[in-house]
Structure 1
Amino acid sequence: MDNRQPPAQSLLKHLPESVLSAAREPAPVHLWHPAFSGELDMHIARDGTWYYEGGPVTRLALAQLFSGILRLEEDGRYYLVTPVEKWGIRVDDVPFVAVRLEVEGAGEQQRLRFFTSLEHEVVADAAHPISVSVDPESGEPSPYVLLRDNLRALIHRNVFYELVERATEHQVDGQARLGVWSDGNFFPIDGEVAEA
């Protein structure tokens, strides 16, 4: 008889109590360097839904807890990390989706506050930039905002339309670019790359 716990339960068992009590706050995963434990049957879909063993994680608090121990490493892979375990997971695009926008102020003084489907929030600023990549084949834009460390949130299409409505032209490296202001920073959203 196999008495081992499923990896997801094992992960939760090895989290410090301070992390468990603050599920929406990220854990100090940059301080933890356990050996690789294996692949976990968990993935995050492009729409931000977390799946474990083929089924969606329906409890928000549980998805928030897992998101707090998520780390993107230099190999381009995502891992769930505790002080003693490190499990690889699959992520279709990026792990978060910004589903709501609040705007404070106007013009160059406005602040754009994004909220994710897991109730994280971030103000776009120099440390949390907005970026847009464009699929070369379809021409579809993929807008992102940096949430924390090197973890980004895909900006939902409806939220991106709100940004487009607020967009203004501004000179960037001698080129007129279409973008938005937030916290005194201008972020191009036209998906073009300025020529050097």
Structure 2
Amino acid sequence: MDNRQPPPQSLLDSLPESTTGDARDPAPVHLWHPEFIGELDMHITRDGTWYHEGGPISRKSLAQLFSGILRLDEDGRYYLVTPVERWAIKVDDVPFVAVRLEVEGQGREQRLTFFTSLGHSMVAGEEHPITVRVDTDTHEPSPYVLLRSNLQALIHRNVFYELADLAVDEKVEGQSRIGVWSDGIFFPIDGSVASA
């Protein structure tokens, strides 16, 4: 008699029911190259809300678990990845949102720590740069901070206003730019492109 359990029907079936509620270290998804299984009915909206089968994921701990196995591949698609399976999911913009900012120090000694809605934190600097994209039609800025690998967090509008209050003028490649200092690096936030 075969006592083996059938494989889970979806990634959801293989996740534990409870966690600590804290953001966990991400899994080493860059080392895994499993078979592509298909599209999972999962969607991350621009405000950072995770949806599954049309409804929001109400358990923050579950969204945190998923965020730890998320990967953006070279094809521009987002996947949830385990050692044995890879599922494509839909992401409207980027998968994370930075909803809080802590500031230490001033001027060039300043350190900016961002916190996402899922409890991740990162200090803006060489490994976690701030970038701003400007919509060519609306001219609205969209600011981001790199969380890990190639996964970004959209900086929430209220947090961007805080950055604007900290902004200073600096010369970048001979051009005056408005931006912020963090961890010894100046990040322009004015959305313009410095001339070469």
Task: Report the TM-score, using the length of structure 1 for normalisation.
Answer: 0.92
Please show how residues 72-111 of structure 1 align to structure 2 within 5 Å.
72-111=72-111
Q: Percent identity?
A: 69
The answer to whether the 8 A contact 2:8-2:14 is kept is no
Match of 1:59 in 2: 59
Runs of 4+ displaced beyond 3 Å? 3-6, 19-23
Q: Which runs of 5+ in 1 are unaligned?
A: 14-18
CA pair 155-23 structure 1, distance change in 2 beyond 3 A: closer
Match of 1:157 in 2: 157
Match of 2:177 in 1: 177
Q: Which runs of 5+ in 2 are unaligned?
A: 1-5
Match of 2:24 in 1: 24
171-180 or 21-30: bigger deviation: 21-30
Amino acid at match of 2:157: R
Match of 1:113 in 2: 113
CA pair 191-8 structure 1, distance change in 2 beyond 3 A: same
Larger proportion of helix? 1
Q: Secondary structure at the match of 1:139?
A: coil
Structure 2: how far apart are the matches of 1:86 and 1:29?
Answer: 10
The answer to whether the 8 A contact 2:145-2:152 is kept is yes
Q: CA shift at 1:8, angstroms?
A: 3.0
After superposition, what is the alpha-carbon deviation per residue over 1:21-64, rounded to whole angstroms, capped at 9, x for unaligned? 98621000011110101000001000000000000001011000
Match of 1:8 in 2: 11
RMSD: 1.9
After superposition, what is the alpha-carbon deviation per residue over 1:57-85, rounded to whole angstroms, capped at 9, x for unaligned? 01011000000000000000000000000
Match of 1:143 in 2: 143
The answer to whether the 8 A contact 2:23-2:119 is kept is no
Number of aligned residue pairs: 189
Match of 2:3 in 1: none
Q: CA shift at 1:127, angstroms?
A: 1.1
Structure 2: how far apart are the matches of 1:10 and 1:23?
Answer: 20
Q: CA shift at 1:9, angstroms?
A: 2.3
Amino acid at match of 1:167: A
Q: Secondary structure at the match of 2:98?
A: strand
Structure 1: how far apart are the matches of 2:70 and 2:94?
Answer: 11
Structure 1: how far apart are the matches of 2:127 and 2:14?
Answer: 30
Task: Report the TM-score, using the length of structure 2 for normalisation.
Answer: 0.92
After superposition, what is the alpha-carbon deviation per residue over 1:92-132, rounded to whole angstroms, capped at 9, x for unaligned? 00000000000011111000000000000000001110000
Structure 2: how far apart are the matches of 1:11 and 1:52?
Answer: 15
Structure 1: how far apart are the matches of 2:139 and 2:168?
Answer: 21
The answer to whether the 8 A contact 1:20-1:65 is kept is no
Q: 1:36 and 2:39 equivalent?
A: no
Structure 1: how far apart are the matches of 2:36 and 2:21?
Answer: 26
